[in-house]
Amino acid sequence: MSNPETLDDGEGGGEEEYAMLRLRLNAGLTEDGWRERYGEPIPDEYRSRAASLAPHGLAEADGGGIRLTRSGFLLSNEVITRIIG
């Protein structure tokens, strides 16, 4: 069985799929990873949506990226859908 922390998302899929897969990991969607893959920062709309979930204790967004909180993981499908739109 593969280790989810060493996710191999392959070459396929778009930005939303990449974001969805990364947000399912403890490290979340990292700024460095996004820049390496797409050559630009994480979209502002992803950060804004994640920030709107922070007061509810579901996600965190900072200079390092976006990640779900412990509570956010319990509702991960809904939280991820709200972040990636």
User: What stretches of the chain show up as alpha helix (H) in DSSP?
Assistant: 15-23, 31-38, 44-53, 70-74, 76-84
Query: Is residue 35 one of the residues assigned to a domain?
Result: yes
Residue 32 lies in a domain: yes
Residue with tokens 């859908």: 81
Q: Give the pairing type, strands 65-68 and 59-62.
A: antiparallel
Asked if residue 85 belongs to a domain, the reply is: no
Query: pLDDT in tens for each of the 85 residues of the chain?
Result: 333 444 444 456 799 999 999 999 999 999 999 999 999 999 999 999 999 999 999 999 999 999 999 999 999 999 999 999 9
Q: Is residue 5 domain-resident?
A: no
Q: Is residue 59 part of a domain?
A: no
Tokens matching residue 77: 């499908």
- Of 76, 61, 82, 59, the closest CA to residue 24 belongs to 76
Q: Model-level pTM greater than 0.85?
A: no
Query: How many domains is the chain partitioned into structurally?
Result: 1
Any domain includes 69: no
Shortest CA distance to 29 belongs to which of 9, 37, 21? Answer: 21
List the domain range (segments joined by +) for residue 46: 14-54
